[in-house]
Structure 1
Amino acid sequence: MELSKLVSVILLVIFVLVAVAFLTLLERKILGYIQIRKGPNKVGFMGILQPFSDAVKLFTKEQTLPTMSNFIPYYVSPVFSLFVALLVWCSMPYEFGLLSFKMSVLFFLCCTSLGVYTTMGAGWSSNSKYALLGCLRAVAQTISYEVSLALILLGTLFLVGGFSLSLFSDYQRYLWFSVFMGPLALVWFASCLAETNRTPFDFAEGESELVSGFNTEYSAGGFALIFMAEYASILFMSVLFSVIFMGGSLMSFVFYLKALFVAFSFVWVRGTLPRFRYDKLMYLAWKSFLPVALNFCVFYMGMKVLLEVMLM
């Protein structure tokens, strides 16, 4: 039994990493067509091997080491970042022998909060002013939007009555939560963009003003690991959005089409919207998303109590 669990986890990691590779190709293709160009189309059939050639190039490049960096945190941060991005996949409600447990929502929140430490460690240990500024901005942004994510989740948890993600598929057989929780679904999607440092909230890697932000001093393998962790998080958030607001079983093909559409939306937003100003980003989190999430949370809690009283 333990061996089968181990094999399941190894297969899960392999599938996620392959999905990350093809997500990068999908993004480059979509952005290419948005900008009226082809995107990668040389390596393999229609550029299908491009992600693997990029991986070989990145991991075989010479690794630079800033002489004044704090050596151990500098090297451990990218590895731990990818580890956390892969670990959070264990919270998904799998139905074919993989890990599945009752407190998966709490596990997800714990794993996402750990991502702050990897960003902070990478920026601080580089001993560079650019990297330090980038990591401070990224940490402030991530912590701010984790609050709205947690409150939105709390509102949905009151409805399903538990901390397991498998409950969401049971409660959405006939009606998606996104139908009567439309504003919350939009706020969740925007918070996911900010949480994963995606355009228009990509201030952790603001190339135009921060010279790539917290990962300024990283190259080759270290940069590749940070890059892979970011895209694994995007993929996870897409699947999680489908689970919470669109329901469905992870065994169904339609579920993955919904997750693919959400992942496509991440890229679509990147290709169409300009970057926010940083103070407006923080204003959006604390003065717009937080009150909306709190109001909906109190509303759904009150409605559930009222219905229980009426049915008694």
Structure 2
Amino acid sequence: MYSACLYCNARFAANEVVEQFAIGRRLAFDSARGRLWVVCEKCGRWNLSPLDERWEAIDSCERLFRSTPLRASTDHIGLAKLREGLELVRIGAPTKPEFAAWRYGREFAKRRRRTNIIGWSAITMAFGYYATRHFAPGMLSAVPLVGMLPQGFQYYVYYRQWLRPVAKLQLHDGTPYTLRAKDVSESKVEPDPDGGPWRLSLLHGRGRSLLHGSDAEQVLGRIITHMNFEGGKQDAVDTATRRLAEAGSASAFLAQHATANTGRVIGNLGAQALDVRLAIEMALHEDTERVALEGDLAALEAAWKDAEQIAAIADRLLLPEWVSDRVQRFRDR
């Protein structure tokens, strides 16, 4: 197998998942036609693999795809991502679509990087301020704004933890109310005695509000995103993803969480608080993620159609005509 893209000459990264085909971080395969491609991460072009290296690798890709619960499919193409980072693109009749929560791993990682940058910037700023105050106090009077930086950062932290608007809701009398950060600490997801799978209980400055259905989903989505501002490490994301996969669906996970944690606020779930909060956010954004994923699948489907035309010509050049005719007869049965 070649180790670089035939179009842009970028080298393929290795994967440790498909033992028979250890090249590429995104593999596309068509079990029915016996095709296997390496999709270049740099230019996005599909590189057809040699015939003698495909068959066992295709079987492995099919097994891996079907055993991965976190996947999504359209009528012609499916996409799955394994925990090890390998992405599989499956061509053909779809298997049962599942919630593609793996996409949120990128978002949580981005939030964590942003939080680390803010944290280290604050530490550097504080160290610089106190060093200047100790060794060159005259600079603080020469540049007055420098002396205000620590106090300004404290104001930012106070605003974020207490005053920042999180969501808007209507009280029982129809009065609009802006839910702020200080109000979300007592948020609870609990079983709905009115027949729904769950409801959201909020204790805020105007009393307690009980939200149901789409209203609860919308407000809880804003609250949980605020709580998950710092993102999460990969192990927490993996645990959250596994929780969703074990529940079977996003709605089932939320219902199970409401039953198992009745009376407990979202921000105080013990040692499992972070991965549970991450899983709740993934579940609440299932529909949004599916729409985004459909865009990825549409682009992959267009690329596959171009690659399939080239692959069909290339494979026919290497096989006698009678072999192609016999294979076609078997497919038509």
Higher helix proportion (structure 1 or 2): 1
Higher strand proportion (structure 1 or 2): 2
Ranked by relative contact order (alpha carbons within 8 Å, sequence separation 6 or more), the top structure is 1
Q: Tell me the TM-score normalised to structure 1 length.
A: 0.25
Query: Between Structure 1 and Structure 2, whose CA radius of gyration is higher?
Result: 2
Q: Tell me the TM-score normalised to structure 2 length.
A: 0.24
